[in-house]
């Protein structure tokens, strides 16, 4: 859309700032904002007011033990250290989290090898999705990544998902160069719709792609390795 | 009195920076500093302490993951966290079966939001919150109620029209006008 098109009304901009529009309408409004400086500026003002009002929300102390649960969930605060060896925790850069997950899995050597795949983390951020081969849905949405790495047992694939539905189960299939398929494991996504797993590289051939298939047999996402 | 001022913004940003490099002490301080604000907003939207706990935990995990992308120039840490909280709580509510909310519960939430903090609240007071409450209280009461219900209660204009017993158009006008006045007050204070 361009400046020549009619500007959005305050009602639409307010609904958008309050998150009260459905996905399709939101996409249209967002597209318009992308090309209309006037509306973008008015939207920013409304969104600014919404954010300001949010701060007035009443304070309520959560039940005892809440902060400890959060720290366990993030693996911080000295609660969960096994997945984050000290020597890899100061790694910086855009791929920091994935590097940590991979390094942690490989350093502690959890479950990688003939035993099958291993869970190495509780999810990934959008930033991580850009690392390795993107895992995309048929619609083209990036929902994770697949990265090649190494362990003591040999080559592995690190499959990271960040854009799934919480609790959803998927089977991971490796599609080999000869077209054959090999099951790598079945996993449930965590409460945030994410998860990371280490999959041993098959001894029998090259992996062409990785597929995540739902329990109903629908291929949810694919990564070209 | 413990007031979190502009200097605290810098301290908050430092906590996020610590979180971004997995600093344990920063993580502990970060959660303890913001947990009552996050949980308070989550409860205001969900009216379900159990669900609010799940939402709040999810908010901190998301914040941990996104800590490296936080930009202090775009707003305070508190605002950033509460925006994540609002989105997460509304998503959680949409994912479950719609349930009517008792009018008394909404009244309690509005009252708690617009209440001038008393001496017993001093520990958790912040200049940022004081300013927001003052601007809401400066609105005509019907607009303040509509704005609080929409922003802090996460209610739709349609739900507000039902709970307030007013036409949908009136509910939308109150929300819009109230937010515009809040914005004008913010600008006037900056001048």
Smallest CA–CA distance from B69 into chain A, residue: A127
Asked whether residue B111 falls in the same domain as residue B188, the answer is yes
ipTM for the predicted complex comes to 0.89
**Domain identity same for B114 and B59:** no
Q: B67 and B56, same structural domain?
A: yes
Task: Pick from B3, B5, B24 the residue to mutate for testing the A interface (most A CBs within 10 Å).
Answer: B24
Looking at the structure, tell me whether residues A42 and A146 fall in a common domain. no
Same domain, A44 and A97: no
Q: Count how many domains chain A has.
A: 2
In a shared domain, residues B146 and B93? no
Mean pLDDT confidence for B158-166: 95
Q: pLDDT tens-digit profile of A110-168?
A: 333 333 444 443 333 332 222 367 888 888 887 887 877 655 456 777 777 877 888 88
Residue A217 and residue A146 share a domain: yes
| Chain B residues with CB-CB distance to A125 below 8 A | 65-66, 69
B139 pLDDT more than 60 = yes
In a shared domain, residues A187 and A105: yes
A183 vs A219: CA distance, rounded Å: 13
Domain CATH for A128? 2.60.40
CA geometry: angle A190, A194, A196, nearest 5 deg: 100
Interface of A with B in 67-96 (CB under 8 A): 67, 69-71, 73-74, 76-78, 84, 89-90, 92, 96
Domain membership flag for residue A67: no
Average pLDDT value for residue range A198-202? 79
Answer yes or no: are the C-beta atoms of A88 and B61 closer than 8 Å.
no
Does residue B183 share a domain with residue B127? Answer: yes
Q: Check residue B142 and give its pLDDT.
A: 97
**pLDDT higher than 90, residue B133:** yes
Would you call A1 an interface residue with chain B, using a CB distance cutoff of 8 Å?
A: no
- For residue B41, the chain A residue with the least C-alpha distance is A57
Domain range enclosing B39? 1-99
Residues of chain B with pLDDT > 70, as a percent, come to 90
Number of domains making up chain B: 2
Cα four-point dihedral sign A210, B61, A57, B89: positive
Is residue B109 located within the same domain as residue B165?
yes
CATH of residue B152's domain is 1.10.10.10
Domain match, B91 and B170 both: no
Q: For the domain that residue B93 is a member of, what is the CATH number?
A: 1.10.1740.10
- Cα–Cα dist B151/B110, whole Å: 11
Helix/strand/coil percent split, chain B, to 5: 80, 0, 20
pLDDT band at residue B56 under the 50/70/90 scheme:
very high
Question: How many helices and strands, by DSSP H and E, does chain B display?
Answer: 9, 0
Q: How many CB pairs below 8 A link A and B? A: 172
A154-161 sheet: strands from edge to edge: A118-121, A195-200, A154-161, A142-151, A133-137, A219-224, A207-214, A169-176, A181-188
pLDDT interval class at B8 (50, 70, 90): low
Q: Is the same domain home to B77 and B115?
A: no
pLDDT for B118 equals 64
Q: Same domain, yes or no, for B80 and B173?
A: no
Same-domain pairing of A212 and A113: yes
Same domain, yes or no: A46 and A126: no
Q: Which of B99, B116, B151 is the C-terminal boundary of a domain? A: B99
Q: Say if A65 falls within a structural domain.
A: no
Asked if A198 and A152 touch (Cβ cutoff 8 Å), the reply is: no
User: Do residue A59 and residue B64 have CB atoms under 8 angstroms apart?
Assistant: no
pLDDT surpassing 60 at residue B143: yes
Domain coverage including residue A21: 10-54
Three-state SS at A195 = strand
Most A CBs within 10 A among B12, B17, B64, hence the mutation to make, goes to: B64
User: In 3D, which of B41, B18, B46, B21 has the Cα closest to residue B30?
Assistant: B18
Domain boundary among B51, B74, B99: B99
Among the candidates B42, B70, B99, a domain finishes at B99
- Kindly identify which residue of chain A lies nearest to residue B153, measuring between CA atoms: A57
Q: Which of B12, B25, B61 to mutate to test the interface with A (most CBs of A within 10 A)?
A: B61
Same domain, B72 and B109: no
DSSP A119-137: EEES---HHHHTSSEEEEE
Query: Does the pLDDT value for residue B7 go beyond 70?
Result: no
Which of A52, A60, A70 is the closest to B40 by Cβ?
Answer: A60
Cβ B176–A14 below 8 Å, yes or no?
yes
**Per-residue pLDDT tens over the stretch A57-92:** 999 999 888 888 888 877 775 533 323 222 222 223
Give start and end residues of each alpha helix (H) in B21-149.
Answer: 24-46, 49-66, 77-95, 103-114, 127-137, 141-147
Same domain, B69 and B107: no
């Amino acid at each position: 859309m361009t400046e020549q098109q009619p500007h959005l009304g305050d009602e639409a901009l307010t609904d958008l700032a309050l998150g009260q529009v459905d996905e399709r309408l939101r996409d249209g409004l967002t597209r318009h904002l992308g090309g209309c400086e006037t509306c973008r500026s008015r939207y920013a003002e409304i969104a600014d007011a919404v954010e300001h009002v949010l701060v007035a929300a009443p304070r309520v102390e959560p039940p005892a033990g809440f902060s400890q649960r959060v720290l366990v969930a993030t693996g911080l605060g000295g609660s969960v250290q096994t997945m984050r060896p000290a020597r890899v925790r100061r790694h910086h850069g855009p791929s920091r989290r994935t590097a940590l997950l991979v390094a942690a899995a490989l350093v502690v050597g959890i479950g990688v090898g003939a035993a099958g795949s291993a869970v190495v983390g509780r999810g990934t951020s959008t930033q991580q999705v850009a690392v390795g081969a993107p895992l995309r849905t048929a619609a083209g949405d990036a929902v994770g990544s697949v990265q090649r790495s190494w362990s003591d047992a040999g080559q592995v694939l690190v499959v990271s998902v960040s854009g799934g539905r919480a609790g959803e189960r998927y089977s991971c299939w490796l599609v080999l160069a000869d077209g054959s398929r090999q099951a790598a494991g079945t996993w449930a996504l965590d409460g945030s719709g994410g998860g990371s797993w280490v999959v041993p590289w098959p001894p029998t051939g090259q992996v062409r792609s990785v597929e995540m298939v739902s329990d109903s047999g629908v291929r949810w996402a694919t990564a070209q390795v | 009195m413990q007031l979190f001022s502009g200097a605290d913004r810098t301290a908050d940003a430092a906590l996020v920076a610590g979180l971004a490099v997995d600093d344990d002490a920063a993580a502990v301080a970060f959660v303890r500093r913001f947990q009552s604000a996050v949980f308070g907003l989550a409860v205001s939207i969900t009216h379900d302490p159990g669900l609010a706990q799940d939402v709040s935990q999810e908010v901190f995990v998301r914040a941990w993951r996104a800590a490296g992308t936080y930009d202090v120039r775009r707003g305070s840490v508190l605002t950033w966290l509460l925006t994540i909280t609002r989105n997460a709580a509304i998503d959680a509510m949409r994912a479950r079966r719609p349930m009517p909310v008792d009018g008394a519960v909404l009244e309690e939430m509005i009252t708690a939001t617009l209440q001038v903090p008393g001496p017993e609240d001093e520990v958790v007071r912040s200049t940022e919150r004081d300013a927001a409450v003052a601007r809401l209280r400066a609105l005509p009461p019907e607009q303040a109620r509509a704005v609080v219900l929409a922003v802090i209660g996460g209610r739709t204009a349609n739900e507000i029209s039902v709970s307030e017993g007013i036409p949908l158009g009136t509910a939308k006008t109150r929300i819009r006008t109230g937010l515009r006045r809040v914005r004008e007050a913010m600008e006037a204070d900056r001048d």
